[in-house]
């Protein structure tokens, strides 16, 4: 677990799963937010989080978002209504739901990696939305769970300070990078629509929420 808001090259490299040399080169070229303290590169955790989220929700995904078929990656039984005040409890409930699926072969690894990412930097992207996501070799195919919170979850520490009410959790096979990014982009585009968020938060049950999601496929 990394402490504080200032990260080293080594810590950033571990999070991004790239070499320290790659992070150093990015910093030198100004491709990643960084600054020097003396002669040593340092990185603000909040700025790296923003940089990562911008890349994951870029307006030009590897493939068209219309290719994402909701029926294959989410179902009513994967939509949870949450009453957890802490992000730990909310994430744990969603991990437990995904861990029941046959595509997830190692529940302990899923939980470990979800919480490891959250410890490094918040997956809240603003507007009351959080997108915890991992790619793992122990996942055989991409799966999604959606959490709709009946209460504000205030400890995600999003950039805009808005309490989280919607959580999109994605677990994908390690080789599914393009589809993984495409799925994040697909959902992010819809969740950022204030009217759609309001309708989803007002849904009375999982079936109603699922039907809203299906309808949203044709709204963009």
Q: What is the pLDDT along the chain (220 residues), one digit of tens a residue?
A: 344 578 898 888 888 888 888 888 888 777 788 887 877 888 888 888 878 877 776 544 444 344 677 888 889 999 999 998 899 999 999 999 999 999 999 999 999 999 998 888 889 988 999 999 999 989 999 999 999 999 999 899 887 889 999 999 999 998 888 888 889 888 988 898 999 999 999 999 999 999 999 888 766 5
Are 112 and 38 found together in one domain? Answer: no
Are 47 and 86 found together in one domain? Answer: no
Are 24 and 108 found together in one domain? Answer: no
pLDDT of residue 45: 85
Q: How many domains does the chain fold into?
A: 2
Q: Could you tell me where the beta strands, DSSP code E, fall in the chain? A: 6-7, 35-37, 40-44, 79-82, 124-126, 129-130, 133-136, 143-153, 164-173
Query: In Å, how far are 42, 59, 196 from 47, measured between CA atoms?
Result: 11, 19, 28
Rounded Cα–Cα distance for residues 119 and 111 (Å): 12
Which of the 8 DSSP states describes residue 65? G
Residue from 34, 26, 27, 28 nearest 7 by CA: 34
Q: Count CB-CB contacts under 10 A for residue 184.
A: 24
pLDDT of residue 15: 85
pTM for this model (two decimals): 0.69
Pairing between β-strand 143-153 and β-strand 133-136 as defined by DSSP bridges: unpaired
pLDDT of residue 160: 86
pLDDT of residue 63: 42
Rounded Cα–Cα distance for residues 204 and 106 (Å): 32
Are 23 and 116 found together in one domain? Answer: no
Q: List the CATH number of the domain containing 209.
A: 3.40.930.10
Rounded Cα–Cα distance for residues 92 and 139 (Å): 18
Domain span at residue 31 reads 6-56
Kindly tell me the sign of the dihedral angle through the C-alpha atoms of 44, 135, 177, 133: negative
């Amino acid at each position: 677990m990394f402490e504080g808001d200032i990260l080293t090259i080594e810590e950033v490299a571990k999070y991004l799963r790239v070499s320290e040399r790659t992070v150093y080169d990015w910093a030198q070229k100004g491709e990643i937010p960084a600054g020097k303290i003396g002669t040593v590169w340092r990185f603000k955790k909040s700025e790296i989080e923003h940089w990562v989220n911008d890349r994951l929700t870029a307006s030009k995904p590897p493939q068209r978002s219309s290719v994402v078929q909701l029926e294959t990656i989410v179902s009513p039984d994967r939509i949870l209504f949450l009453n957890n005040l802490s992000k730990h409890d909310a994430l744990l409930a969603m991990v437990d739901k995904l861990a029941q699926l046959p595509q997830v072969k190692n529940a302990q690894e899923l939980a470990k990696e979800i919480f490891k990412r959250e410890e490094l930097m918040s997956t809240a992207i603003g507007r009351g939305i959080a997108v915890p996501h991992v790619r793992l070799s122990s996942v055989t195919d991409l799966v999604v769970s959606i959490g709709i919170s009946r209460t504000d979850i205030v400890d995600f520490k999003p950039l805009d300070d808005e309490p989280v009410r919607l959580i999109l959790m994605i677990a994908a096979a390690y080789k599914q990078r393009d589809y993984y990014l495409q799925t994040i982009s697909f959902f992010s585009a819809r969740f950022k629509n204030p009217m759609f968020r309001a309708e989803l938060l007002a849904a009375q049950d999982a079936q109603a929420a699922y039907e809203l999601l299906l309808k949203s496929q044709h709204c963009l």
